[in-house]
Chains A and B, each alone.
Chain A
Amino acid sequence: MAKQRVYLKGNEALAYGALEAGLNAYFAYPITPSSEIPETLAKEFGTGRYPEYKFFLQAASELEAINMVLGAASGGARAMTATSSPGFSLKQEGLSYAACMELPFLIADICRAGPGLGNLGPEQSDYFQSTKGGGHGDYRLFVLAPASVQEMALFPRIAFDLAFKYRNPALILGDAFTGQLKEDVEFPEFTPPKYDVSSWATTGAKGRAPHVLNSLELDYQKHYKHIGRIFEKYKQAEANEVRFEEYQMEDAEKVIVAFGIVARIAKGVVNKLRSKGVKVGLFRPITLWPFPKVALKKLASEGKQFLDVELNTGQMLQDVKLAVGDSVTVDFLGKWGGIVPTEAEIEKKLHHLEVVAV
């Protein structure tokens, strides 16, 4: 698709973004508020508009879908699935296996309010599950947090690239707000990079030794080494793949730390206060893993104060505090249950930053 402007919902933009990123196969399971992703991809399947897009199937469960993704990724394909929070819990089995098997694919979680069925409103309460592994065992996912429909459209390119470069699943963590929001989007021209999968993909052992994609290793020493090697890979990612946005930060004394849709609201607060001469800025982690801890630590060393705002009871807050250390003030404003903070609420909290430090 050539560069063009289109008016899309966040979920639709994510679907088209995946197609633009060279998606080969999508395995679906419907769940609100993510269902426009499979619906869009079902509509595009068979149209021939995206020659690389070869397969779409609605699976019978979240587990079946993620394991089909795992199979397709084993064959070296660009495979994807998407879900929302209750479904994301079910995906954890496949993600744990895939991380150990070093399989590259893309998953999106359009986070809604939890726990349990919760409701259909936005939350960021899958932060822990997304950034700390989520399933059993020790592993990480690449986690990208879009704050606009435009980013929903472009992040699949980054996510597939990270997944294949590091041979690890990548997650786009959206929320009900960014999924349902409708905005103008541009798709800059893009040629999906080619990835060499010949050293590991299960494509038939023709003229080579068999490839075995496996998470089982009964030899403790070998498994110790395998996981150690995966974490060496993660170290490389932590050094090279961190992404964040700094807005009005040069002379800022107070810093709002927020990701996803909350950062969007916080930007409005920054604009408003800057017009009144208040020295406030926004720090927005784009990769929630690897987390931009070095950049935050640097800001803390400059004597800035922080207000962390999230759609949960304080999950990223732990990573922020860990990054800035004990001697720095970090205040917190959390909303949950599908409620989003207003600009006024953030502004009010910001004024009290020195007083109500947690």
Chain B
Amino acid sequence: MSQVTMKVKVGKLESLTDNPTHYCAGCEHGTLTRLIAAAVDELGLREKTVMIDSVGCSVLAYNYLNFDHIVAAHGRAPAVAAGLKRVRPELNVFTVQGDGDAVAIGLLELIYAAKRNTPITVFLVNNGIYGMTGGQMAPTTLTGQVTTTTPYGRDPALTGTELDASKLLASFDGAAYVKRASLVVTELASPRGTVYTIKNLLDAKKTVENAFKVQMLGGFAFVELLSTCSINWKMPVLDAKRFANEYMVKKYPLGLYTDTFGVEKK
């Protein structure tokens, strides 16, 4: 029998509201919400933090995270964040965006925020699909993957191959921090059967903190977080985790791409 075990710090985070989230079973958006709240609390940034909510599954984050929010148009979150940060440089401004939002319709806004090293933080939740609109192909959808707009599998002859956002942003001067981490628990064989470890989540937690630290140091921080979407992938939750760990990571290897300030070593 499978069992999911996870140690979480019990106690109220000031940056979290009491509202239950709307996220689907097995979705990592809730995990990221909590990691962000923990990082903001630990860094003492809550009272000067503004989140730019983006169109996609994170659009309702203003119900869950207890600080100021602006809800941006599809793809425009980095531009809105930049506009705010430039007139209120004392603030801690960040976006949480999906792959459809940041890598398709909002790619220009993302690229130029990085190119100018705009002191904001962008979290990209890469689950390889448009979640909120019901499972259409994203630029990150794996070759051959079935979505509602690639019902026979993604055909690279027609749609090109996967777009690697971290590699793209690391390919030019600009962003102070580019890292790909994962929010997906991993399986581990044990004598008692399969168990799940939160190794990835511990690294993601550290990464989220670092991404805020980079902004405080005056640089642009980009964190891509691999996630699942069991509902739209049409897989049971644990199968979706397995799919992410076996197939997605091969296309999107985890790791640090750029760290100008050396925050990972500190």
Chain A residues proximal to chain B, CB less than 8 Å: 24-25, 27, 54-55, 57, 59-61, 63-65, 67-77, 79, 93-94, 97, 101, 202-207, 210-216
B87 and A54: CB pair below 8 A? yes
Query: What is the minimal beta-carbon distance from B254 to any residue of chain A, in angstroms?
Result: 30
Query: What is the minimal beta-carbon distance from B170 to any residue of chain A, in angstroms?
Result: 19
Which chain A positions have C-beta within 8 A of B109?
A: 63-64, 67
A210 and B87: CB pair below 8 A? no
Which chain B positions have C-beta within 8 A of A70?
A: 70, 72, 76, 79-80, 83
B49 and A204: CB pair below 8 A? yes
B79 and A71: CB pair below 8 A? yes
Residue among A25, A57, A213 facing the most chain B CB atoms (10 A cut-off): A213
A74 CA to B80 CA in the complex, in Å?
9
B69 and A202: CB pair below 8 A? yes
B59 and A205: CB pair below 8 A? no
Which chain A positions have C-beta within 8 A of B73?
A: 67, 93-94, 97
A67 and B87: CB pair below 8 A? no
B46 and chain A: residue at smallest CB distance: A205
A204-B47, A204-B49 given as contacts; is B112 within 8 A of A59 (CB)? yes
Q: Which of A72, A93, A214, A216 is the one whose CB lies under 8 Å from B84?
A: A72
- Quick one: which of B70-104 are within 8 Å of A by CB? 70-73, 76, 79-88, 90-91
A202 and B112: CB pair below 8 A? no
A203 and B88: CB pair below 8 A? yes
A71 and B81: CB pair below 8 A? yes
A59 and B84: CB pair below 8 A? no
A240 CA to B82 CA in the complex, in Å?
35
B47 and A75: CB pair below 8 A? no
A210 and B80: CB pair below 8 A? no
Which chain A positions have C-beta within 8 A of B196?
A: none
A269 CA to B186 CA in the complex, in Å?
81
Which chain A positions have C-beta within 8 A of B52?
A: 71
B84 and A74: CB pair below 8 A? yes
A203 and B91: CB pair below 8 A? yes
What 12 new A-B contacts, CB under 8 Å, besides A97-B72, A204-B68? A55-B87, A67-B72, A67-B73, A68-B80, A68-B86, A74-B50, A204-B50, A206-B47, A207-B47, A210-B67, A213-B70, A214-B62
B47 and A67: CB pair below 8 A? no
Q: Which of B47, B86, B112 is the one whose CB lies under 8 Å from A55?
A: B86
Q: Which 3 interchain pairs have the tightest Cβ spacing?
A: A71-B83, A68-B83, A67-B79
Q: Which of B47, B85, B108 is the one whose CB lies under 8 Å from A60?
A: B108
Which chain B positions have C-beta within 8 A of A55?
A: 86-87
Query: What is the minimal beta-carbon distance from B16 to any residue of chain A, in angstroms?
Result: 12
A216 CA to B54 CA in the complex, in Å?
11
A60-B108, A72-B87, A202-B84 given as contacts; is B71 within 8 A of A213 (CB)? yes
Judged by a CB distance under 8 angstroms, whether B48 is at the interface is: yes
A75 and B87: CB pair below 8 A? yes
Judged by a CB distance under 8 angstroms, whether B182 is at the interface is: no
Query: What is the minimal beta-carbon distance from A95 to any residue of chain B, in angstroms?
Result: 11
**Total contacts A to B, CB within 8 angstroms?**
132
Q: Which of B48, B62, B85 is the one whose CB lies under 8 Å from A204?
A: B48
B interface residues, how many (CB within 8 angstroms): 34
A73 and chain B: residue at smallest CB distance: B83
Judged by a CB distance under 8 angstroms, whether B66 is at the interface is: yes
A60 and B112: CB pair below 8 A? yes
A34 CA to B108 CA in the complex, in Å?
23
A61 CA to B189 CA in the complex, in Å?
51
Q: Which of B66, B76, B82, B88 is the one whose CB lies under 8 Å from A63?
A: B76
A56 and chain B: residue at smallest CB distance: B86
B70 and A71: CB pair below 8 A? yes
Name 5 interchain pairs, CB-CB below 8 A, sorted by A: A59-B79, A71-B70, A210-B69, A212-B69, A214-B71
A27 and B108: CB pair below 8 A? no
A67 and B76: CB pair below 8 A? yes
A49 CA to B53 CA in the complex, in Å?
36
Which chain B positions have C-beta within 8 A of A77?
A: 87-88
B79 and A63: CB pair below 8 A? yes
A202 CA to B66 CA in the complex, in Å?
13
A61-B108, A64-B109, A204-B50 given as contacts; is B68 within 8 A of A72 (CB)? no
Query: What is the minimal beta-carbon distance from B112 to any residue of chain A, in angstroms?
Result: 5
Query: What is the minimal beta-carbon distance from A47 to any residue of chain B, in angstroms?
Result: 18
B68 and A212: CB pair below 8 A? yes
A314 CA to B71 CA in the complex, in Å?
38
B87 and A79: CB pair below 8 A? yes
Which chain B positions have C-beta within 8 A of A73?
A: 83
Which chain A positions have C-beta within 8 A of B62?
A: 210, 212, 214
Q: Which of B46, B68, B82, B90 is the one whose CB lies under 8 Å from A202?
A: B68
Query: What is the minimal beta-carbon distance from A14 to any residue of chain B, in angstroms?
Result: 21
Q: Which of B67, B83, B111 is the one whose CB lies under 8 Å from A67?
A: B83
Query: What is the minimal beta-carbon distance from A311 to any residue of chain B, in angstroms?
Result: 31
A68 and B68: CB pair below 8 A? no
Which chain A positions have C-beta within 8 A of B72?
A: 67, 70, 97
Which chain A positions have C-beta within 8 A of B83?
A: 25, 27, 67-75, 79
A202 and B70: CB pair below 8 A? yes
Which chain A positions have C-beta within 8 A of B47?
A: 204-207
B67 and A71: CB pair below 8 A? no
A212 CA to B17 CA in the complex, in Å?
14
Which chain A positions have C-beta within 8 A of B53?
A: 214
